C-alpha cells in the first residue's frame, strides 16, 4: 500500500515525547482524547470515500493516456458542434411547429364555435339524410369532386367548396403515375426510394402507395423543371402526423433525416390539423411563410388532392378546391427530380396516388392564334363518364371569357381518349364529353351555340404514343380548333 494521498508522514522531533501528557494535540482534534479520536476517525473515513483509488499505471502512462483522450476530444469537437447545431435547429423548428399548431387549434376551436352557433340559428348541421348515412367518406368525396348528378349538362362545378380556385394544369405531361400497372406489395419501380418503408396497396377503390414509416422518395424527371409547371397528387395523410407530406423542388435537396435550411429553399407542406378534421398547406423557407387550413372537413381520413402551380417565383398551393398559399416570391430551384418526404408509421400509415407533373400552360387564346388549335388538360371528367368535374371551372372560365372577348371566334370542340378499353366505347365517350363542354359554355357562359361544334374522335388521333403513362395522359384531352 502506498501512502495515503494528501497526508504527510509524522516525523519524530528529537527531544519531544512521541505520546503522553506533554504531546501536542492533533490538528482539528478535541482536547478531550476520546472525542478527538472519534472525530479524527470520522474525518479519515470521509476522506477515504472522497479520494479515488490510485491507478496501478505508472504516472507517465497515465499522462500519455490523458493526452490521447484530450486529442480525441479535440478531433471530435467539430463533429460534435455540428451535430449540436443540427439538434438546436431541429429543437427550434419543433418549437415553432408546436406554437403554430397551438394557434391553428385555437382558430379551429373558434371556427367550430362560430359554425355551431350559425348552424343552430339557421337549422343547418342536423343529421344527414338517410341516403348519406353509413356511406364511405371516400365515396362522398368522389361524388363532390366529380361524381354526383347535376341538371346542367353534366356540369358539377361552381360549388361552394371551391374558394379562390384558379388552378389550371400544364399541357405537357412530365411524370404521370397512378400505380395501376404496379404489382401490389412492391415499391413503385418508377419512383426512387431514398429511405423508409412503402408498398403498393389496394385501398379506397384503387392502388395507392402505402407508407408505414418516415419515408422519402424522388419523382424522377427527364430534364430540369421548366419555368412554369404544375404538380398534383392525391394524399391521405397519416391521422396523427404533423408535417405529413413535404415537397421540395430544389436541386440540392436534403437527405431523409437532414434538417432543412429554411434560408435556401421554399418547401411545400401538407399537414393534418390537430383533431384530424382539417388539413393545412404551408409554403415555408426561402424567406417566406404562408398558408392556411382548409375550411372543408376531412373527417374519416378521406383523401385530399394537393396541387401546386409554379410560374417563375410565383407559387400557389391548393387542397382540393381551396387555394391556401399564394406566394409571389418563393425560392424554388429547378431540378431533375422532386423530393417527397412523408411522416407516417405502422399504426397510422399515409397513402398517395395519382401523381401528375405537367409543364407549360399558355393562355388558350395565344396558342389558338398562333397554331389555330390548342389542347388543354384542364377539363376533367369523372372516370368513364361525361360528367365535368368541378376542378375544370378555371379552364372553362377562360374559354368563356375568350369567346366573350372575341365575338367572331367560332370553335370546334374535340374530345379525345387514350387507347385503353373498347374502341367503340371510347368513341362514344369522346363524343359525349365534347358535347358536355359545348353545353357548359352555352348554358353557363351564354355563348351562342351556333358558334360551337362538338366532335369526338376516341383514340383515333393520338397526340403521343400510348406506351407510357405520360403519353396516355397527353392523349386524354379536349382540343379547341378554330373554324
pLDDT of residue 119: 40
Q: Give CA–CA dist 477/416, Å, rounded.
A: 5
Q: Give CA–CA dist 391/358, Å, rounded.
A: 16
- The CATH architecture assigned to 172-359 reads Sandwich (2.60)
Mean pLDDT of 299-313: 84
Count the neighbouring beta carbons within 10 Å of the beta carbon of residue 433: 26
**Of 161 and 47, more confident:** 161
- Percentage of residues of the chain with pLDDT beyond 90: 41
Q: pLDDT (tens digit, 9 = 90+) per residue, 418-459? A: 999 899 999 999 999 999 999 999 999 999 999 999 999 999
pLDDT of residue 363: 83
pLDDT of residue 116: 42
- Adjacent-strand bridge partners of 124: none
Q: Give CA–CA dist 246/146, Å, rounded.
A: 27
CATH number for 364-482 (one of 3.30.70.60, 3.90.180.10, 3.40.50.300, 3.30.1330.60): it is 3.30.1330.60
pLDDT of residue 92: 59
Q: pLDDT (tens digit, 9 = 90+) per residue, 87-140? A: 555 555 555 555 555 455 544 444 444 344 334 333 433 333 333 333 333 333
**First-residue to last-residue Cα distance in the chain:** 111
- Above 80 in pLDDT, residue 176? yes
Judged by average pLDDT, the poorest of 152-156, 279-283, 427-431 is 152-156
- Is residue 271 within 8 A of residue 280, CB to CB? The reply is yes
Where is mean pLDDT largest: 51-60, 136-145, 321-330? Answer: 321-330
- Above 80 in pLDDT, residue 74? no
Mean pLDDT of 181-210: 94
Q: Give CA–CA dist 472/368, Å, rounded.
A: 23
Q: pLDDT (tens digit, 9 = 90+) per residue, 255-276? A: 444 545 555 788 898 887 766 6
- In 3-state terms, what secondary structure has residue 281? strand
Confidence grade of residue 481 (pLDDT, cut at 50, 70, 90): very high
Task: Report angle CA 205, 200, 390 to the nearest 5 degrees.
Answer: 40
Confidence grade of residue 162 (pLDDT, cut at 50, 70, 90): low
pTM: 0.65
**Of 295 and 338, more confident:** 338
- In 3-state terms, what secondary structure has residue 248? strand
Nearest to 258 by CA among 82, 456, 126: 82
Task: Tell me the pLDDT of the chain averaged across its residues.
Answer: 74
Count the neighbouring beta carbons within 10 Å of the beta carbon of residue 432: 17
- Above 80 in pLDDT, residue 60? no
pLDDT of residue 320: 87
pLDDT of residue 94: 54
For the chain, the structural domain boundaries read 79-118, 172-359, 364-482
Count the neighbouring beta carbons within 10 Å of the beta carbon of residue 32: 11
Confidence grade of residue 348 (pLDDT, cut at 50, 70, 90): confident
**Of 234 and 1, more confident:** 234
Task: Show the DSSP H helices in 415-476 as ranges.
Answer: 423-445, 469-475
Amino acid at each position: 500500500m502506498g501512502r495515503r494521498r494528501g497526508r504527510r508522514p509524522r516525523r519524530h522531533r528529537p527531544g519531544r515525547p512521541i505520546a503522553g501528557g506533554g504531546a501536542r494535540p492533533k490538528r482539528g482534534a478535541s482536547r478531550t482524547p476520546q472525542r478527538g479520536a472519534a472525530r479524527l476517525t470520522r474525518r479519515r473515513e470521509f476522506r477515504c470515500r472522497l479520494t479515488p483509488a490510485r491507478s496501478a499505471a505508472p504516472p507517465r502512462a497515465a499522462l500519455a493516456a490523458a493526452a490521447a483522450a484530450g486529442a480525441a476530444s479535440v478531433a471530435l469537437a467539430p463533429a460534435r458542434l455540428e451535430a449540436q447545431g443540427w439538434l438546436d435547429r431541429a429543437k427550434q423548428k419543433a418549437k415553432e411547429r408546436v406554437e403554430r399548431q397551438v394557434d391553428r387549434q385555437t382558430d379551429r376551436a373558434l371556427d367550430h364555435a362560430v359554425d355551431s352557433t350559425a348552424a343552430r340559428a339557421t337549422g343547418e348541421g342536423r343529421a344527414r339524410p338517410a341516403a348519406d348515412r353509413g356511406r364511405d367518406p371516400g365515396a362522398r368525396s368522389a361524388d363532390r369532386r366529380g361524381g354526383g348528378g347535376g341538371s346542367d349538362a353534366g356540369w358539377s362545378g361552381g360549388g361552394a367548396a371551391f374558394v379562390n380556385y384558379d388552378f389550371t394544369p400544364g399541357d405537357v405531361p412530365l411524370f404521370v403515375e397512378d400505380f395501376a400497372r404496379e404489382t401490389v406489395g412492391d415499391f413503385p419501380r418508377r419512383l426512387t426510394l431514398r429511405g423508409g418503408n412503402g408498398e403498393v396497396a389496394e385501398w379506397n377503390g384503387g392502388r395507392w402507395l402505402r407508407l408505414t414509416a418516415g419515408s422519402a422518395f424522388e419523382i424522377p424527371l427527364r430534364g430540369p423543371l421548366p419555368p412554369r409547371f404544375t404538380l398534383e397528387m392525391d394524399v391521405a395523410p397519416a391521422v396523427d402526423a404533423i408535417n405529413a407530406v413535404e415537397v421540395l423542388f430544389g436541386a440540392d435537396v436534403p437527405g431523409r433525416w437532414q434538417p432543412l435550411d429554411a434560408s435556401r429553399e421554399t418547401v411545400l407542406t401538407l399537414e393534418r390539423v390537430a383533431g384530424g378534421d382539417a388539413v393545412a398547406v404551408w409554403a415555408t423557407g426561402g424567406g417566406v411563410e404562408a398558408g392556411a387550413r382548409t375550411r372543408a372537413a376531412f373527417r374519416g381520413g378521406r383523401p385530399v388532392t394537393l396541387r401546386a402551380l409554379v410560374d417563375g417565383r410565383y407559387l400557389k398551393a391548393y387542397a382540393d378546391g381551396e387555394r391556401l398559399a399564394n406566394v409571389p416570391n418563393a425560392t424554388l430551384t429547378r431540378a431533375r427530380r422532386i423530393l417527397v418526404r412523408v411522416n407516417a408509421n405502422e399504426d397510422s400509415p399515409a397513402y398517395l396516388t395519382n401523381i401528375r407533373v405537367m409543364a407549360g400552360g399558355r393562355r388558350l387564346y395565344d396558342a389558338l392564334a398562333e397554331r389555330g388549335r390548342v389542347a388543354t388538360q384542364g377539363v376533367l371528367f369523372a372516370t368513364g363518364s361525361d360528367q365535368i368535374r368541378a376542378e375544370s371551372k378555371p379552364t372553362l372560365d377562360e374559354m368563356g371569357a375568350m369567346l366573350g372577348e372575341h365575338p367572331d371566334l367560332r370553335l370546334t370542340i374535340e374530345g379525345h381518349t387514350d387507347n385503353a378499353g373498347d374502341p367503340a366505347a371510347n368513341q362514344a365517350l369522346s363524343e359525349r364529353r365534347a358535347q358536355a363542354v359545348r353545353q357548359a359554355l352555352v348554358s353557363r357562359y351564354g355563348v351562342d351555340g351556333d358558334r360551337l361544334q362538338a366532335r369526338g374522335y376516341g383514340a383515333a388521333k393520338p397526340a403521343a404514343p400510348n406506351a407510357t403513362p405520360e403519353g396516355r395522359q397527353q392523349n386524354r384531352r379536349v382540343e379547341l380548333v378554330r373554324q
